[in-house]
A and B are shown apart, each in its own frame.
Chain A
């Protein structure tokens, strides 16, 4: 009769909640690693920094490493040298360099059991070349209409016809091969294959719960032998602290960490801190259209004013390495002679030579009554970029240059690169033709790829020379010329190597780091030989 209102219900709910918390915290520990007793069926859990949207190689960047679901005609070995993969032996260029014939292995099957034939290779490459397919990799793989045609000579032989000789073409054959029999007639832009792929690689797709996890299983019939680790789980955790917590709890086995947070794991016996050699470099882009900066002496002076050693040591830590050019030590085209000494006095002298002789009451240099001033833009998405931008501005102010720092909006910052400097990390370890032509050649001075708008004849000449020959030694010479020309020009100031630090469970055997691109490519850099990994 008396209506008992409201208050007892929430109270009971709360008590129940408290009880549940107790229960939940008490039990359910079955997921922890708990020693090496039972590593046989153990899944390798990888925390990615973001979720992929598409696993098809038709859309995939080389950084993605084919996800180990696919394999290409060729692969990179530990030293980034090309080795045959689906190809029976390393393909060779024809006499004029315009034909490449690839003989395929005959023992390869897709994960659905169908054999791989030349039809699949032709289908894959025609898909990439098809302008109805919205893939961002077409421009890079088929730069300037490079590929004229792909044709099946017989069941296991494919012939590529090129419009010109391209020494970097062989590397493009890295692209994963998709099964024609599953994709014929499908709209490649929206086919479910993109999220439930079938390939020829060591791992096969198992399941993908969007936003939650992506699961691969070992492909027992892999032509290279069944992988030892039978199950790989990818999860997606953007926040670095959360990833550190997961690693510390033993909930994951493999993830990327900033050098500073990674230091916390140095003493952790269950975790290995591995540095993946990174081809990515911190770089300051100086706008060639800026009236003062268009003077090469000013760019040189700015380069001399940067204390690279100290920045690398203080902003990155013990792993920090200063850098002067776009290649990293260990890359076949690296030139160890390129170097700029930290010399603020020399920088001031050079500026004086360029006409910056007077200074105002605040100590800033003047020419015709105007300051030498510009803004350094950086993007907020990378925390360490801001610190570098501030340190650079401080070094520039040291020599009387009124440099300021501003966070750029993305998109938006691209429109300001005519007048403002831009700081970011950039670089990939693959063939320089593949990655550096668009970055530095004057043909690209008006698109975002070469944001400084640099048009340097020496740079252009070196790049042109590097693609005019198939001889590795001649190409190396050309790239050494490129590095010297870049250092001379000063439009792109390379500041330091951008380290990629990875945390891996100490229970894993078989790790062999391979040079990788940006830190986002960490999975590629370490797990390129995932099929050779095993549990201790």
Chain B
């Protein structure tokens, strides 16, 4: 087990290096121009003159060739310095990330929880009542969730639950009048959390259903049935634990999708998290900030996979045994 963790963690810097290089190359090849984005964002209708561009690029250290820029960024990173955000007018990137991490983690974590619980219930229900209208409904909603754009769902959710029904606040993470910033209130969390969960549950639900149907054909399930074990017990105590084992790895591999989904959802709901910051950084072509966000995302993905992998080893007694 320690060897597994060690190997993954040793690979992490390599992965991060590759990711960072990729982002750098993409930004370099992109037609988006930081100076132009800055001028457009800061001042309506100003023109970017060549002199001004030159001054900006000097101030931002952009006049060096790309490899030099990358290496100097890397050098600072090694010393734990993520640089300064251009979009946030020179604020240290680390501070920007710190401010935004908490709301994002709350949103992602709770949405993941809802996805898991919801997908389990829906997947089990669909498998238990296979080919029934309920199964059809659950499958249709799961398929829909995989291809309906999440921002569309988010806008719809705002329209229905905030505008029409007036049940929940439409934006922000806490009450604007009575609360100081930086907090997350449950009432505010609900809508973005449920929207993110709804748009992400598709694969999970289908996976639970299909794995469960497969497991239900396995010998030990049929043996349990032959022993007279009740339908519910067969489903939950005999079939589900086996279906859950591969499900755990799915969680790990789906973290990137969850993070991706959160960018749009956070933007629509004005959520003060990393997803929203990603959008802002992208619009502003704020390379240092984007790099940092992508790196944080990459770390989350690697860690998520690692945890899923370890969990997988813990809950499957056959693998656990072979590791002792």
- Contact present between A and B (CB < 8 A): yes
Q: Point out the residue from A31, A51, A192, A449 that lies within 8 Å of B91, measured CB to CB.
A: A192
CA gap between A249 and B39 in the complex, in Å:
35
- Are A5 and B240 closer than 8 Å at their CB atoms? yes
Q: Which residues of A contact B33 (CB under 8 A)?
A: 411
- Are A241 and B31 closer than 8 Å at their CB atoms? no
| Contacts of B267-290 to chain A: CB distance below 8 A | 267-273, 276-277, 280, 284
The segment from A13-21, A77-85, A308-316, A495-503 that touches chain B is A13-21
Task: Map CB proximity to B onto A496-515 as digits: 1 under 8 Å, 0 otherwise.
Answer: 00000000000000000000
Task: Map CB proximity to A onto B171-199 as digits: 1 under 8 Å, 0 otherwise.
Answer: 11111111111100111001000000000
- Are A239 and B91 closer than 8 Å at their CB atoms? no
Closest residue of chain A to B88 (Cβ to Cβ) is A53
CB distance from A409 to the nearest CB of B (A): 8
- Say whether, besides A10-B117, A242-B269, A243-B171, A252 and B42 are in contact (CB < 8 Å): no
Q: Which residues of A contact B267 (CB under 8 A)?
A: 238-239
- Are A13 and B117 closer than 8 Å at their CB atoms? yes
CB distance from B275 to the nearest CB of A (A): 9
Q: Which residues of B contact A251 (CB under 8 A)?
A: 169-170, 175-177
CA gap between A6 and B114 in the complex, in Å:
15
- Are B47 and A449 closer than 8 Å at their CB atoms? yes
Is A213 an interface residue, CB under 8 A from the partner?
A: yes
Is A334 an interface residue, CB under 8 A from the partner?
A: no
How many of chain B's residues have a CB under 8 angstroms from any CB in A?
Answer: 81
CA gap between A140 and B47 in the complex, in Å:
9
Is B214 an interface residue, CB under 8 A from the partner?
A: no
Q: Point out the residue from A7, A192, A242 that lies within 8 Å of B268, measured CB to CB.
A: A242
- Are A245 and B158 closer than 8 Å at their CB atoms? yes
CA gap between A190 and B52 in the complex, in Å:
18
- Are A211 and B159 closer than 8 Å at their CB atoms? no
- Are A20 and B176 closer than 8 Å at their CB atoms? no
Is A448 an interface residue, CB under 8 A from the partner?
A: yes
The segment from B12-20, B55-63, B217-225 that touches chain A is B55-63
Task: Map CB proximity to B onto A35-48 as digits: 1 under 8 Å, 0 otherwise.
Answer: 00000001101010
- Say whether, besides A53-B284, A132-B59, A207-B181, A28 and B276 are in contact (CB < 8 Å): no
Q: Point out the residue from B38, B89, B100, B175 that lies within 8 Å of A30, measured CB to CB.
A: B175
- Say whether, besides A13-B113, A20-B186, A63 and B43 are in contact (CB < 8 Å): yes
Q: Which residues of B contact A60 (CB under 8 A)?
A: 42
Is A139 an interface residue, CB under 8 A from the partner?
A: yes
CA gap between A132 and B99 in the complex, in Å:
29
Task: Map CB proximity to A onto B143-180 as digits: 1 under 8 Å, 0 otherwise.
Answer: 00000000000010011001100111111111111111
- Are A242 and B47 closer than 8 Å at their CB atoms? no
Task: Map CB proximity to B onto A210-231 as digits: 1 under 8 Å, 0 otherwise.
Answer: 1111010000000000000000
Q: Point out the residue from A31, A138, A209, A518 that lies within 8 Å of B181, measured CB to CB.
A: A209
- Are B163 and A236 closer than 8 Å at their CB atoms? no
- Say whether, besides A45-B177, A235-B172, A248-B166, A134 and B60 are in contact (CB < 8 Å): yes
- Are B31 and A517 closer than 8 Å at their CB atoms? no
Is A267 an interface residue, CB under 8 A from the partner?
A: no
- Are B103 and A212 closer than 8 Å at their CB atoms? yes
Interface size class of A (residues with CB under 8 A): 35 or more
Chain B CB within 10 Å — which of A21, A53, A236, A252 has the most? A53
- Say whether, besides A239-B155, A241-B158, A520-B44, A134 and B55 are in contact (CB < 8 Å): yes
Q: Which residues of B contact A192 (CB under 8 A)?
A: 91
Task: Map CB proximity to B onto A117-154 as digits: 1 under 8 Å, 0 otherwise.
Answer: 00000000000000111101111100000000000000
Is B116 an interface residue, CB under 8 A from the partner?
A: yes
CA gap between A188 and B101 in the complex, in Å:
27
Is A332 an interface residue, CB under 8 A from the partner?
A: no
Is A460 an interface residue, CB under 8 A from the partner?
A: no
CA gap between A132 and B60 in the complex, in Å:
10
| Contacts of A273-330 to chain B: CB distance below 8 A | none
Q: Point out the residue from B168, B185, B241, B277 that lies within 8 Å of A6, measured CB to CB.
A: B241
Q: Which residues of A contact B178 (CB under 8 A)?
A: 30-31
Q: Point out the residue from A140, A237, A447 that lies within 8 Å of B172, measured CB to CB.
A: A237
- Say whether, besides A212-B173, A236-B270, A447 and B117 are in contact (CB < 8 Å): no
- Say whether, besides A30-B175, A411-B32, A239 and B169 are in contact (CB < 8 Å): no
Q: Point out the residue from A43, A209, A211, A435 that lies within 8 Å of B45, measured CB to CB.
A: A435
Closest residue of chain B to A414 (Cβ to Cβ) is B36
| Contacts of A82-129 to chain B: CB distance below 8 A | none
CA gap between A191 and B60 in the complex, in Å:
14
- Are B90 and A194 closer than 8 Å at their CB atoms? yes
Is A59 an interface residue, CB under 8 A from the partner?
A: yes
Closest residue of chain A to B164 (Cβ to Cβ) is A245
Q: Which residues of B contact A212 (CB under 8 A)?
A: 103, 172-174, 181-182, 272
- Known contacts A444-B47, A517-B45; 10 further A-B pairs (Cβ under 8 A): A10-B120, A13-B117, A53-B89, A132-B58, A187-B90, A190-B90, A194-B91, A242-B171, A428-B45, A518-B45
The 14 sampled A-B contact pairs (Cβ below 8 Å) are A5-B237, A10-B121, A14-B117, A17-B117, A24-B190, A61-B46, A63-B44, A139-B46, A190-B89, A209-B180, A210-B99, A237-B171, A241-B159, A243-B171
